[in-house]
Amino acid sequence: MPADLPAAMTVIDIAEPGGPEVLKPGTRPVPRPQPGEVLIEVAAAGVNRPDMLQRQGGYAPPPGASDIPGLEVAGRVAALGDGVTDWRPGDAVCALLAGGGYAEYCAVPAAQCLPVPRGFDMVHAAAVPETFFTVWTNVFERAGLKRGESFLVHGGSSGIGTTAIQLGRAFGARVFATAGGAEKCAACAKLGAERAIDYRAEDFVAAIKEATGGAGVDVILDMVGGDYVARNLACLAVEGRLVQIAFLKGSKVELNLMPLMLKRQTLTGSTLRPRTVAQKAAIAQALKERVWPLLEAGTVGPVIHRTFPLRQAADAHRLMESGTHIGKIVLTTAAGS
Ligand SMILES: NC(=O)c1ccc[n+]([C@@H]2O[C@H](COP(=O)([O-])OP(=O)(O)OC[C@H]3O[C@@H](n4cnc5c(N)ncnc54)[C@H](OP(=O)(O)O)[C@@H]3O)[C@@H](O)[C@H]2O)c1
């Protein structure tokens, strides 16, 4: 380990399961990178909805992962574990983590790091990994969205949704989105949704049928679940694919599966966090080849709603839980300011 590294760092601990107030600044030893890992001096860390679940005690880190929240960071490589040849100390990277991002340093498998896209500051870079990995693997790999197909994104103004709309559009799909309220719908339209549906005022099933001449959409990305599952199947095209990444309205539903069979539809889903390093590395490689050029050209990019200093992580969670944000909320450290 380089001699100039501090022994201790500021982190955000989850004192006990509960509301945002249980997030407390604490002090921990700076982690040592294990073989195959890099140590990152964190400049900025993205806040994601799964962090709320972890704080509430409902989304434990996978075995071996840090119990500190935080699934993505950007910063500079501070030290290398044995066997790491792809990165050098001082490199500017962003990384997908299984935990540990709300901290001044974090250790992560080298293969889960990507270069900070050219032209990006650390705040924007920190806002990329979680949503871009999630959308890429679910929408393009799992659901196989193709050029010329149609794509419905629920939660269009969320961190995930803003990424999904842009990537769907950039890869040549017709994109539709749902969001709660006129302001969020306007944001979805600005990002490339051909039609943004305010689900509080309109029935999205009828709106999609109307927009697609009755055919329905080829792919749906859903985080809502509950009554949306049957409604999604009702506006999914023949051979359509519905991919679940969360169940904000519940995962237990009563469902008539007849349309699934008759229209040869696929219902699938996945979570990113428990996947192996090799699986995450494969997604990172695909992103580097297919999506990094789009980020660097400004074709797609994270939408930053607001930043908070790391110590104010509780306020960042309050904001996310208020549901008033559009896009991403990011924490910054002293190294990032
Ligand atoms: N499976 C995975 O690998 C994976 C990875 C990352 C994230 N996720 C999930 O993806 C979701 C989005 O994450 P994020 O970080 O982007 O969160 P976020 O920005 O807080 O977005 C949450 C979204 O959910 C919508 N929403 C909440 N309750 C709803 C309801 N009852 N009906 C309809 N929409 C509702 C909100 O939009 P409105 O205000 O328009 O309702 C909001 O846009 C989360 O559920 C998260 O757990 C899954």
Give the tens place of pLDDT for each residue, 289-335: 999 999 999 999 999 999 999 999 999 999 999 999 999 999 999 99
Q: What residues of the chain score a pLDDT lower than 70?
A: 1
Q: Which residues line ligand 1 (CB under 6 A)?
A: 48-50, 130, 134, 155, 157-161, 179-180, 184, 223-224, 245-246, 248-249, 270-272, 320, 323
pLDDT at 336: 81
Q: Write down how long the chain is.
A: 337
Nearest CA to ligand 1 atom 27: 248
pLDDT at 278: 98
pLDDT at 160: 98
Nearest CA to ligand 1 atom 5: 134
Nearest CA to ligand 1 atom 26: 155
pLDDT at 2: 75
pLDDT at 337: 72
For 13-78, give the DSSP string: EE-SSSSGGGEEEEEEEPPPPPTTEEEEEEEEEEE-HHHHHHHTTSSPPPTTS-SS--SEEEEEEE
